[in-house]
Amino acid sequence: MDINNFSKRELQILHLIIDGYNNKEIGQKLNLSPHTIKCRISQIIAKTGAKNRTHLAYLIGSLGSLPTQNYAL
Is residue 40, in this structure, part of any structural domain at all? yes
Regarding predicted confidence, which is higher, 61 or 70? 61
Residue 10 falls inside a structural domain: no
Query: How high is the pLDDT of residue 72?
Result: 57
Residue 8 maps to a domain: no
Structural domain count of the chain: 1
Measured between alpha carbons, how far is 33 from 57 in angstroms, rounded to an integer?
A: 21
- The answer to whether position 57 is within a domain reads yes
Whether residue 53 is contained in a domain is answered as yes
pLDDT digits (tens, 9 = 90+) for 15-59: 899 888 999 999 999 999 999 999 999 999 999 999 999 898 888
Domain assignment present for 37:
yes
CA-based radius of gyration for the chain:
11
Region 53-71 average pLDDT: 74
Per-residue model confidence (pLDDT) at position 19: 87
Predicted local distance difference test score (pLDDT) of residue 1? 64
For residue 50, is it within any domain? Answer: yes
Mapping DSSP onto H, E and C, the string for 2-55 reads CHHHCCHHHHHHHHHHHCCCCHHHHHHHHCCCHHHHHHHHHHHHHHHCCCCHHH
Sign of dihedral through CA atoms 22, 4, 51, 19? negative
* Gap between the terminal Cα atoms of the chain: 24
pLDDT computed for residue 69 by the predictor: 55
Q: Tell me which residue range forms the domain holding 30.
A: 17-62
Looking at the domain assignment, is residue 5 inside a domain?
no
pLDDT score of 63: 73
